[in-house]
Amino acid sequence: MEKYVINGGTPLYGEVSVSGAKNAALAIIPAAILSQDICVIENLPLSISDVRYMIATLRHIGADVRYIDKSSIEIDSRKVSSYVISHDMTKHLRASYYFIGALLGRFGRARVAMPGGCYLGPRPIDQHIKGFEALGAKVSVEDNAIVEASSEKLFGAPVYLDIVSVGATVNIMLAAVKAEGMTVIENAAKEPHIVDLANFLNSMGADIRGAGTDVIKIRGVENLHGCTYSIIPDQIEAGTFMVAAAATKGNLLIKNVIPKHLESISTKLVECGATVEEYDEAIRVSMDTRPGKCNIKTMPHPGFPTDMQPQIAVLLALADGTSLISESIWSNRFRYTEQLIRMGAKINVDGQIAMIHGVEALKGAPVRADDLRAGAAMIIAGLAAQGRTEIEEISHIRRGYENVVEKISNIGGDIRMVYCVDPLDINDAG
């Protein structure tokens, strides 16, 4: 079993470069199935496990995938012959359900086991199914375990999302891009990775307009050719380092970012008293005082991202005053607060609201990563705390953050990964 050991209390200084966006990669990799040719995708975070599982799934259904370098791959989907993906492949991550839309768009058929991923509360797929059915597909969910979708032919149609859903917006785009006629997705998600997917598909010859707004129009095309495409930087990784710089009273230049994608995070950090300087492809965050309190309400983009909620909570746990966080996307995204309380934080959670009474300092403690972003929050807390923090269940963190130990060590953080033997693994000497 592996864990991170952090000796906190040192401000983060220097420069760090952000990897490609996990949630863009997870939408774009399955989209390559729709091409009749070869796609080269660059700036991928190839060492995170979610991306490696997506590549393994592509190969599982017959695609050839070649690693070009540490962040680029070449995908040849011409030999993809199967539209069936088993639970063994889908259980590792939520985004595996994008193969439903991609296979439906390619073959008019998909049989994909329900996905896994972080437990953040119920994660239904009714809006995905609503979109597929609007395009003319027959969809059934067998034993709540296997999604079967099929259609002789897909026809463009209007789809109104009852709730803003990133996943449903992605999946409907994938199914609609080769359907006959016009599809209009209303109340669509506007996240940067939605725009990135639309740009990728358009570079393959698709006809998608309006991505980044709440109305996306997709005019179906016969065929999609190959392309070479570089994905956007990860705004959540960037935001995680921004908060870490503020929480440790450091001064950090975060490179390979698109500052516009970070506006809600920058605004909140400035509200807390941090200094944020924007450059063309970088952002500098510095802080030399105790953070002030501020209130957060997570919202779909361009609101404050729910995927930054645990991380900002660490800064607010150290703030001068009481802050409120309202989590409007997920019903169970405050579990990490139990771990922060073990480190001396004063937090009361009541349903979708967390009340955070700032303390002067957190103290190192043994904690665990309950999910991907909760794990990121534990790292920030460990770096900001006095003393030693040990973080278990770090596989969650490695799902979404590349080269964590190297990146943090290079900016002054005292972090290392250690292997520890699980007591149950000790052979009974008899």
Sites of contact with ligand EPZ (CB under 6 A):
22-23, 26, 94-95, 118, 122-128, 163, 165-168, 189, 306-307, 329-330, 372-373, 400
CA distance 48 to 25: 11
Nearest distance in Å: CB 383, ligand EPZ: 20
Q: Indicate the residue whose CB is closest to ligand EPZ.
A: 167
Q: Which one, 18 or 95, has the nearer CB to ligand EPZ?
A: 95
Please tell me what DSSP assigns to residue 184: E
Q: Which amino acid is at 248?
A: T
Burial class (CB in 10 A: 0-12, 13-18, 19+), 72: middle
CA 370 to chain centre: 15
Which helix (H) or strand (E) element contains residue 166? helix 166-176
Q: Which is nearer to ligand EPZ, 262 or 287 (CB)?
A: 262
Reduce the DSSP state of residue 410 to 3 states and report it.
coil
Give the shortest CB-307-to-ligand EPZ separation in angstroms. Answer: 4
CB of 95 or CB of 319, closer to ligand EPZ: 95
Phi and psi angles of residue 301, each rounded to the nearest 5 degrees, phi first: -55, 135
Helix axes 235-247, 372-384, angle to 10 degrees: 20
Residue recorded with tokens 């099929």: 150
**Euclidean distance between CA atoms 332 and 351, whole angstroms:** 8
Question: In angstroms, what is the minimal distance from the CB of 98 to ligand EPZ?
Answer: 8
Q: Which is nearer to ligand EPZ, 162 or 288 (CB)?
A: 162
Are 10 and 39 a contacting pair, CB within 8 Å? no
Q: Which two tokens stand for residue 344?
A: 């001396």
Q: Is there a contact between 275 and 286 (Cβ–Cβ < 8 Å)?
A: yes
**DSSP states of 148-201 as a string?**
EEE-SS-B--EEE-SS--HHHHHHHHHHHTTSBSEEEEES----HHHHHHHHHH
Q: Minimum CB separation from ligand EPZ for residue 79, in Å?
A: 26
Nearer to ligand EPZ, 151 or 165 (CB): 165
Half-sphere exposure of 354 (CA within 13 A, CB side): 30
Q: Which is nearer to ligand EPZ, 128 or 249 (CB)?
A: 128
Taking the complex as a whole, the smallest distance from the CB of residue 116 to ligand EPZ amounts, in Å, to: 11
Q: Tokens 């963190």 label which residue? A: 397
266-294: b or e for each residue (b if 16 or more CB lie within 10 Å)? bebbeebbbebeeeeebbbbbbeeebebb
Least separation, in Å, of the C-beta of 228 and ligand EPZ?
Answer: 23
Q: What is 285-311 written as a DSSP string? A: EE--SPPBP--EEB-STTSB-GGGHHH
Residue among 151 and 306 whose Cβ is closer to ligand EPZ = 306
Q: What is the CA radius of gyration of the chain?
A: 22
As measured in angstroms, the least distance from the Cβ of 232 to ligand EPZ is 13
Residues making up the chain, counted from first to last = 430
In angstroms, give the least distance from the CB of 10 to ligand EPZ. 27
Distance of alpha carbon 368 from its chain centroid, rounded? 19
For this structure, is 39 an active site residue? no
Q: Where does residue 211 rank: exposed (0-12), middle (13-18), buried (19+ CB within 10 A)?
A: buried
d(CA 136, CA 157): 9
Catalytic residue among 118, 227, 272, 294: 118
Which CB sits closer to ligand EPZ, 103 or 329?
329
- Residues taking part in catalysis: 118
